[in-house]
Amino acid sequence: MATTMMPETEVEKTEKKSGTKYVYFFGGGKADGNGKMKDELGGKGAGLAEMTNAGLPVPPGFTIQTEACREYMRNNSVSVDVDRQMEQALKQLEQLQGQRLGKGENPLLVSVRSGAKFSMPGMMDTILNLGLNDESVEALAKRSNNPRFANDSYRRLIQMFGNVVLDIPKDAFDEVFEAKKKQKKARLDTDLDAKALKEVIEEYKKVVKKHAKRDFPQNPQEQLVMARDAVFRSWQNDRAKHYRRINNISDDLGTAVNVQAMVFGNLGETSGTGVGFTRNPANGNKEFYGEFLLNAQGEDVVSGVRTPVHILELEKLMPAVYNQLREITTRLEKHYKDMQDFEFTIQDGKLYMLQTRNGKRTGLAAVRVALQMVEEGLITKDEAIFRVDPNQLYDFLVPRLDEKGKVEVLAKGLPASPGAAVGQIVFTADEAVAKAGHGKNVPVILVRAETTPEDIHGMEVAKGILTSRGGMTSHAAVVTRGMGKCCVAGAGDIEVNEKAREMRVKGKVFKEGDWISLDGTTGRVIEGRLNTLPPSPDDPEMLKFMSWADPYRTIGVRANADIPRDAIQARAFGAEGIGLCRTEHMFFGEKKIPHMRAMILAKDEKERRVALKKLLPMQREDFIGVFRAMDGFPVTIRTLDPPLHEFLPSREALMVDLATLAYADAKQKKALVEQYHDYGVKAVGDLKKKLPELLKRVEQLHELNPMLGHRGCRLGITYPEITEMQARAIFEAAVAVSRDGVKVHPEVMIPLTSGLKEMANQAAIVRRVADEVFAEKERRVDYLVGTMIELPRAALVADEIAKEAEFFSFGTNDLTQTTMGISRDDFNKVLPTYLELGILKQDPFAVLDREGVGQLVRMATERGRKTRPQLKVGICGEHGGEPSSVEFCYQVGLNYVSCSPFRVLTARLAAAQAAASDKLKVEAGRTK
């Protein structure tokens, strides 16, 4: 019999890794493995072993370890040893149970369950009731005296096996099942009797034959081998891969497979199945939380076919079982010292534990549970600080949906940017502005197939963004995260028709003005208008938690903020200064942009100086606001960086308008005057002269490769009067606020330098203007002049640059672009393939590429400090708020990280965890 376990097609087995223990048994009160062996047994297998060893009621079985999966991925098959050890373990299981797999009067049935090191809920596959066939189903019917149950179990097996192992679409089975229910006028699944289910089984078999071109395998051993391999394969399905990518889990780990004796929750009204948490995973409250269903199996609870009952009801129905469950789960929580998420099944009044793991929870719950457990003496404060994933702190800064009762989930997309948004659907950015802009505060959700930079004005005013295409690094995702705005991206089930202004999902049509609610934390799109709960950045529990973590932190956390409002916000989140204040953003204000444009259009230096003079007081006012908000903390201000054409209309748009002008009517002309007002067009008569002039200037400024063009310090070197004006605004503002007692520490930062001479050129201007201002105002302030390091050459000659630069700040967005030779905006076309093929593990614009870009960061820091030991070094790219990049910055010895205000809390915790894990010698990433 043992030989039948190897299907004949698989005679050529690969070389075995001799001596490897592939299979770990659990049952009869003891297990080969234990709870620490997550690498080998996966979380589920380790949990089953640990529970068995603790004497808890766990159906016996065995775990095939992850090495077998890795072997399967390499060779498309497992070694003979795996098969042998599995046969052995199956024999042991049969003996223990006094049953044989799918044979005899009392056939053994098993589940074949996936389970990786890190839990990936619902991402991989599981098969239940394996061992059933045309014969054993009759034995089961007889033995249980319940033909309905036996046939229901069999049809479930064919369905799961067909889908998971034979790749038959679920719909193919669903159609058969629904047709049968209709035919029998059955409302619920449970209304179908044994006879009807038998008919379903016969038709299921036909479905298998048709799609898989083979019969459903009757041989239980063959079923087992096929199921095992399919579960190994499920490690590589798209869902699982995607989940790993967004959760930073390595593709190389592989899953274990658990083969476990079945217990049945679907034997009748004294049986049932359920899931639960030892505490409330949404808010962390210490309460028994969960759901169960009587007369049901496995997936029924979560699948939504029937509405489950609150777990507290179990106390009334089966008090003894309820008490035992509470006792066991309380013990498990104490044992694991963490909130547990568990699965159980009751068979004929007897309780079985099927799974336990550290439960996933929201940021709010994570903080509360950590605090409670310290109070309860379960964990120490030092342990507590690792119980919250830095990214989860975001939950405190964004609104949440207030979900009372059942909500209608229309679709699930990617949780691209957390938070909640409730509003009326709009399909264009202009419509968003029409409804929500200019003081009209209708809350809107911008729904697009994908967003582009042209949608930015609509994104600004929308409460949230929903896209049907695009991933976690799509335009919508990246931009909304920067804004701290909720976004659900890539909700593929939604069909967006921007032309017809409607979206279709679940057979429903939604038009402009219809209400929907988004949960950016889970990716759910919900029908209708839910209430939201406001953010709680001063939540006392969170502040207490941070007061435990922060003292470990050895590096500073600053914010990137361009305007006083953002600076104030950043301070509230605990930013210790500004690491990047981008002056160009100040020019985009309505009052300022005309002068900025006049400056750019100036024919010569004299004209340019006139325009700059008008900008000076405005810029000074902005700096005053920022300095005041950051009283006592440093503020790094970057001189003008972007290519000037960004402030002008696009060449194409201008050409079109010029062409239209030839035959435009009065109304159109008036519109054009309005449109070009800022460019000196005051009346219709000006159009003919000014538009061609403008086009000429735009063409002069036009660049083939603006990212590598006339920008950064190259602007300040070719137009020194710009740097002069900016330096003057900075120092005049600094002197003014210092007179009022504000402690001001300006740090003037020169962008995009590639060598010492550029740095020296700009630093000389800044220092000269500083001296002028201090002399005029008879007051000095301390300041620094430094540079952004965002070109590989700058990193290479950092020792030279440091002769003039008093600080470095790594602009890792540009540094990544220039080091890897890719443009961030264009990389989205390539990235999915690169991730798919494993050429890249992560988006290098989200997670700092330690291997390449990181080397430059390390080297530039070392070289810079060789010249100037006290050189202050920070980072101000997007990476400054990403936990693993923050950890890297800590390791390299940077003085601070700087990130968007909404990432400040995250960066603080990440920096604290990095330092604490060093000091306490604990592994970081505990929270995964």
Q: Which residues participate in catalysis according to the annotation?
A: 475, 876
Provide the minimum distance between the beta carbon of 25 and ligand ADP in the complex, in angstroms, as a whole number: 15
Q: With contact defined as beta carbons under 8 Å apart, do 496 and 469 qualify?
A: no
Provide the minimum distance between the beta carbon of 130 and ligand ADP in the complex, in angstroms, as a whole number: 10
Binding mask 33-62 toward ligand ADP (x if CB under 6 A, else -) reads --------------------------x---
Q: Does 308 bind ligand ADP (CB under 6 A)?
A: no
Binding mask 95-114 toward ligand ADP (x if CB under 6 A, else -) reads ----------------x-x-
Provide the minimum distance between the beta carbon of 469 and ligand ADP in the complex, in angstroms, as a whole number: 27
257 versus 445: smaller Cβ distance to ligand ADP: 257
Alpha-carbon distance 683 to 665, whole Å? 14
Restricting to residues 214-273, name those near ligand ADP by CB under 6 A: 260-263
Name the binder of 85 from Mg ion, ligand ADP, none, CB < 5-8 A by kind. Answer: none
Restricting to residues 339-358, name those near ligand ADP by CB under 6 A: 343, 345, 354-355
Alpha-carbon distance 815 to 819, whole Å? 6
Closest listed residue to residue 140, CA positions, set 60, 205, 199, 220: 220
CA distances from 821 to 154, 809, 844, 875 (A): 57, 20, 12, 20
Phi, psi at 128, each rounded to 5°: -105, 160
User: Is residue 108 packed enough to be buried (19+ CB in 10 Å), middle (13-18) or exposed (0-12)?
Assistant: buried
CA distances from 298 to 69, 141, 200, 292, 325 (A): 24, 19, 20, 10, 17
Q: Does 355 bind Mg ion (CB under 5 A)?
A: yes
Name the binder of 814 from ligand ADP, Mg ion, none, CB < 5-8 A by kind. Answer: Mg ion
338 versus 814: smaller Cβ distance to Mg ion: 814
Determine the size of the site formed for ligand ADP (CB under 6 A): 16
Q: Radius of gyration (Cα) for the chain, nearest Å? A: 32
Q: Which stretch binds ligand ADP (CB under 6 A): 122-130, 361-369, 371-379, 397-405?
A: 122-130
Q: Which stretch binds Mg ion (CB under 5 A): 178-186, 206-214, 351-359, 801-809?
A: 351-359
Name the binder of 420 from Mg ion, ligand ADP, none, CB < 5-8 A by kind. Answer: none
Q: What is the largest CA-CA distance in the chain?
A: 102
Restricting to residues 536-555, name those near Mg ion by CB under 5 A: none
Alpha-carbon distance 894 to 871, whole Å? 10
Q: Tell me the helices (H) and strands (E) count for the chain, helix number first.
A: 35, 32
Q: With contact defined as beta carbons under 8 Å apart, do 440 and 422 qualify?
A: no
The two structure tokens encoding residue 372: 């409670």
Name the binder of 811 from Mg ion, ligand ADP, none, CB < 5-8 A by kind. Answer: Mg ion
Alpha-carbon distance 186 to 184, whole Å? 5
Provide the minimum distance between the beta carbon of 914 and Mg ion in the complex, in angstroms, as a whole number: 25
Q: Does 812 bind Mg ion (CB under 5 A)?
A: no
Q: Does 299 bind ligand ADP (CB under 6 A)?
A: yes
Judged by DSSP in three states, 788 sits in: strand
Provide the minimum distance between the beta carbon of 44 and ligand ADP in the complex, in angstroms, as a whole number: 6
Name the binder of 131 from Mg ion, ligand ADP, none, CB < 5-8 A by kind. Answer: none
The two structure tokens encoding residue 741: 């007692």
Restricting to residues 564-603, name those near ligand ADP by CB under 6 A: none
CB closest to ligand ADP, residue no: 298
H helix or E strand, kind and range, residue 385: none
66 versus 126: smaller Cβ distance to ligand ADP: 126
296 versus 729: smaller Cβ distance to ligand ADP: 296
Q: Give every strand in the sheet of 126-130, ordered side by side.
A: 30-31, 23-27, 61-64, 255-261, 110-116, 126-130
357 versus 481: smaller Cβ distance to ligand ADP: 357
Name the binder of 698 from Mg ion, ligand ADP, none, CB < 5-8 A by kind. Answer: none
Restricting to residues 59-98, name those near ligand ADP by CB under 6 A: 59
Q: What amino acid is encoded at 37 in this protein?
A: M
Q: Which of 67, 814, 843, 882 binds Mg ion (CB under 5 A)?
A: 814
Characterize 882-898 residue by residue with b for buried, 16 or more Cβ atoms within 10 angstroms of its Cβ, and e for exposed. bbbbbbbbbebebbbbb
Which residue pairs, CB below 8 angstroms and at least 24 apart, start in 581-589?
581/626, 581/635, 581/636, 581/637, 581/638, 582/638, 582/641, 583/619, 583/637, 583/638, 583/639, 583/640, 583/726, 584/640, 584/641, 584/642, 584/646, 586/562, 586/618, 586/619, 586/622, 587/615, 587/647, 589/618
253 versus 379: smaller Cβ distance to ligand ADP: 253
Provide the minimum distance between the beta carbon of 273 and ligand ADP in the complex, in angstroms, as a whole number: 6
Q: With contact defined as beta carbons under 8 Å apart, do 701 and 643 qualify?
A: yes
The two structure tokens encoding residue 542: 């969170």
Please, which residues bridge with residue 511 across strands?
502
Q: Does 298 bind ligand ADP (CB under 6 A)?
A: yes
Q: Does 132 bind ligand ADP (CB under 6 A)?
A: no
Restricting to residues 779-798, name those near Mg ion by CB under 5 A: 790
Please, which residues bridge with residue 255 across strands?
116
Name the binder of 298 from Mg ion, ligand ADP, none, CB < 5-8 A by kind. Answer: ligand ADP
Binding mask 716-755 toward Mg ion (x if CB under 5 A, else -) reads ----------------------------------------
Provide the minimum distance between the beta carbon of 133 and ligand ADP in the complex, in angstroms, as a whole number: 18
Provide the minimum distance between the beta carbon of 122 and ligand ADP in the complex, in angstroms, as a whole number: 5
Distance of CA 173 to the CA centre of its chain: 33
322 versus 573: smaller Cβ distance to ligand ADP: 322
Task: Indicate the DSSP class of residue 172.
Answer: H
811 versus 883: smaller Cβ distance to Mg ion: 811
CB closest to Mg ion, residue no: 814
Q: Does 811 bind Mg ion (CB under 5 A)?
A: yes
Q: What amino acid is encoded at 720 in this protein?
A: P
Q: How many CB atoms lie within 10 A of CB 749?
A: 30
Task: Indicate the DSSP class of residue 878.
Answer: G
Task: Indicate the DSSP class of residue 463.
Answer: S
126 versus 817: smaller Cβ distance to ligand ADP: 126
Provide the minimum distance between the beta carbon of 21 and ligand ADP in the complex, in angstroms, as a whole number: 22
Determine the size of the site formed for Mg ion (CB under 5 A): 4
Q: Give every strand in the sheet of 350-358, ordered side by side.
A: 309-310, 289-294, 272-277, 340-347, 350-358
Q: With contact defined as beta carbons under 8 Å apart, do 467 and 450 qualify?
A: yes
68 versus 798: smaller Cβ distance to ligand ADP: 68
Provide the minimum distance between the beta carbon of 346 and ligand ADP in the complex, in angstroms, as a whole number: 10
359 versus 643: smaller Cβ distance to ligand ADP: 359
Provide the minimum distance between the beta carbon of 355 and ligand ADP in the complex, in angstroms, as a whole number: 5
Q: Does 341 bind Mg ion (CB under 5 A)?
A: no
Alpha-carbon distance 729 to 623, whole Å? 8
Provide the minimum distance between the beta carbon of 68 and Mg ion in the complex, in angstroms, as a whole number: 20
Provide the minimum distance between the beta carbon of 240 and ligand ADP in the complex, in angstroms, as a whole number: 11
Q: With contact defined as beta carbons under 8 Å apart, do 526 and 423 qualify?
A: no
Q: What amino acid is encoded at 430 in this protein?
A: D
Q: Does 345 bind Mg ion (CB under 5 A)?
A: no
Binding site for Mg ion (CB under 5 A): 355, 790, 811, 814
Binding site for ligand ADP (CB under 6 A): 59, 111, 113, 122, 126, 128, 260-263, 298-299, 343, 345, 354-355
